[in-house]
Amino acid sequence: MKFFVDTADVAAITELNALGMVDGVTTNPSLILKSGRDILEVTKEICGIVSGPVSAEVVSLTADEMIAEGRKLAKIASNIAVKVPLTWDGLKACKVLSGEGNMVNVTLCFSPNQALLAAKAGATFISPFIGRLDDINLDGLELIADIRQIYDNYGFETQILAASIRTPNHVAECARIGADVMTAPPEVIRKLASHPLTDAGLTQFMKDWAKTGQKIL
């Protein structure tokens, strides 16, 4: 499973990228707001750090405007994936922009039927939102499994980009189900390394090592 980082925080992207943890980046208008940066500037900077796909989201509601914005965003760098919402106009924009050879990420997906439409419109990525379904007492991971089955049934090449990931368990379950990509905030990716038994075991090793009186260096 590929790891994308869901942020426009350049410092966090740089740190995780140095560890080989970043196969791509996803941003959205809320993350641009959080960064306090200009969308074109920060997206260009991110594209210079990461060689994989960098999603940049359109902010209009009509297909024609989304297409115009998408074409502008795609000019930032060759690794831009234009992100469009899963609306009828977003699907129209997806069809046109993917037909022009751009990577397209269709976002705000909350149902298997929406994912089916995105694949038929030529999406490179479909972004089902796990955490936001869990928030309203539905099962976000069940959606990932449903889309996996549907895409496999028909050989759709659209990659499942599991989004709105909030917990390490979401990550492990997405990998088990077979999501192609997961995108998570930097703090969730860092949490993947944590285990209380690792901490307890290390404490014990340090205590015992001190008692040996030895040094390696």
Q: Interface with ligand G3P by CB under 6 A: which residues?
A: 6, 26, 28, 129, 131-132, 163-164, 166, 183
Q: Minimum Å distance from CB 201 to ligand G3P?
A: 32
Q: Minimum Å distance from CB 118 to ligand G3P?
A: 15
CA 127 – CA 158 distance, rounded (Å) = 10
Output the CA–CA distances (angstroms, integers) from residue 13 to 8, 40, 51, 116, 198, in the order listed: 8, 17, 12, 31, 26
Which of 107/154 has CB closer to ligand G3P? 107
CA atoms in the 13 A half-sphere facing the CB of 100: 17
- What are the residue numbers of the active site? 83
CA 74 – CA 66 distance, rounded (Å) = 12
Q: Minimum Å distance from CB 127 to ligand G3P?
A: 6
Which of 6/69 has CB closer to ligand G3P? 6
Cβ neighbours of residue 183 under 8 Å, at least 6 residues apart?
3, 4, 5, 6, 24, 26, 127, 161, 162, 163, 165
Q: Minimum Å distance from CB 164 to ligand G3P?
A: 3
Q: Give the position of tokens 């074409």.
A: 71
